[in-house]
Structure 1
């Protein structure tokens, strides 16, 4: 095991629980659709983290760090995607009528919304589509929330720079650099998976209280506004 494992775990734990766009998406999806949606969003975030970690190990992140143009392009793409999600959530909230979504409305995930009346809940708080909704719709929604977490992380260049600058600091002088870096990246990913699983299970009981149409409309409005604000901050942020 790496010599600096425990200090690394402390830093990783702090970074993992720090709120950001991924946290907002997990909370929004979890509160509106249950712990399964939160878990799938978190898994998408973890896949994005694993891709960034792999790029850092292979040295690809150095290209992003060295090129101001590449960094800016990825940053603006990420800001645009966050703005897109925020606008979709606001549209979803505005198209709600008397607390229920219009038949032609789509959720902020890009998949058809699952009406509240057609959603059943297990004891663990997971939102499961009733037979009338259909397996295909539930699968599309699951894929959409997973994709949200993935793209949000992939289009965040600061995560790439984080791995590029963080991992080498916890490789001792007498350790094999490549092997230790790979181990540290794997540990980072395991911590992220454990965190999102725990968080998704904890958010399940809360989501059952917010099954009503008014609560979901308010949640979409708040989350959409927050994502638009974050996208503006990301786009205008000149720091690397």
Structure 2
């Protein structure tokens, strides 16, 4: 598998992970209310690790071999990104307004909630099923399953790093500096909308 494909996927995936969504909302809420954000972030990473195993086990191969399914999933993912970007631009804060105050709970409860939030995130399903196969290539030394597993692990690590940073920074920055929160919201909204539009145009052409 060419290293250039892994690097290209890492860059695009990092942009996706850095756009606010359900995962961000939970990371921020946990950062604001809990002593440690690690249980929440670990739960979200476990969900993405499970998705990686599922895609590498065969789901991704089915999608990669079906151009129509790949086109439909890509279009759906692009439309979702555009919709989410426009919704973000209309909002006034970066997930803080919608994040619920979390009561003090056991670490395992926060971990399981993280698994549930990321495991049911439609953006994650679309990313694993539509985006990952586009960054694979025929390679005698790398099976399709192995390539998908590597890409899935790259996404999982990106999520862990970004969400950990988001949770830790939430109390210090977003709560005390509303101007920063609004700027992050606008930038992420523009990024999601533009990325979704580019994905749709590229796939249809």
Pair in the same fold by TM > 0.5: yes
1:91 and 2:58 aligned: no
Structure 1 position 155, deviation (Å)? 2.2
Structure 1 position 79, deviation (Å)? 2.3
Give CA deviations for 1:175-210 in whole Å, capped at 9, x if unaligned.
Answer: xxxxxx978876665565445423433444455534
Unpaired runs of at least 5, structure 1? 1-7, 102-112, 120-128, 172-180
Partner of 1:53: 56
Partner of 2:133: 158
The 5 A counterparts of 1:152-231 are: 152-156=127-131, 158-159=133-134, 162=136, 165-166=138-139, 168-170=140-142, 193-207=156-170, 209-210=173-174, 212=178, 214-231=182-199
3-state SS of paired residue (2:138): helix
Structure 1 position 83, deviation (Å)? 1.6
Q: What TM-score results when the alignment is normalised by the length of structure 1?
A: 0.51
Q: Does the Cα contact within 8 Å between 1:29 and 1:38 map onto a contact in 2?
A: no
Partner of 2:117: 142
Structure 1 residues 47 and 200, CA gap change in structure 2 (3 angstroms): same
Structure 1 position 149, deviation (Å)? 1.6
Give CA deviations for 1:3-58 in whole Å, capped at 9, x if unaligned.
Answer: xxxxx7x93994486222x43331113895337687766655544433332128xx
Q: Does the Cα contact within 8 Å between 1:52 and 1:154 map onto a contact in 2?
A: yes
Q: 1:27 aligns with which of 18, 36, 50?
A: 18
The separation in 2 between residues aligned to 1:83 and 1:192, in whole angstroms, is 21
Q: Does the Cα contact within 8 Å between 1:44 and 1:148 map onto a contact in 2?
A: no
Give the RMSD, CA atoms, in angstroms: 4.7
Give CA deviations for 1:123-150 in whole Å, capped at 9, x if unaligned.
Answer: xxxxxx334xxx9xxx599247744223
Instruction: Pick the structure with greater CA Rg.
Output: 1
Structure 1 position 218, deviation (Å)? 0.8
Q: Does the Cα contact within 8 Å between 1:46 and 1:193 map onto a contact in 2?
A: yes
Structure 1 residues 41 and 63, CA gap change in structure 2 (3 angstroms): closer
Structure 1 position 62, deviation (Å)? 7.1
Q: Does the Cα contact within 8 Å between 2:88 and 2:188 map onto a contact in 1?
A: yes
Structure 1 residues 83 and 200, CA gap change in structure 2 (3 angstroms): same
The separation in 2 between residues aligned to 1:29 and 1:234, in whole angstroms, is 24
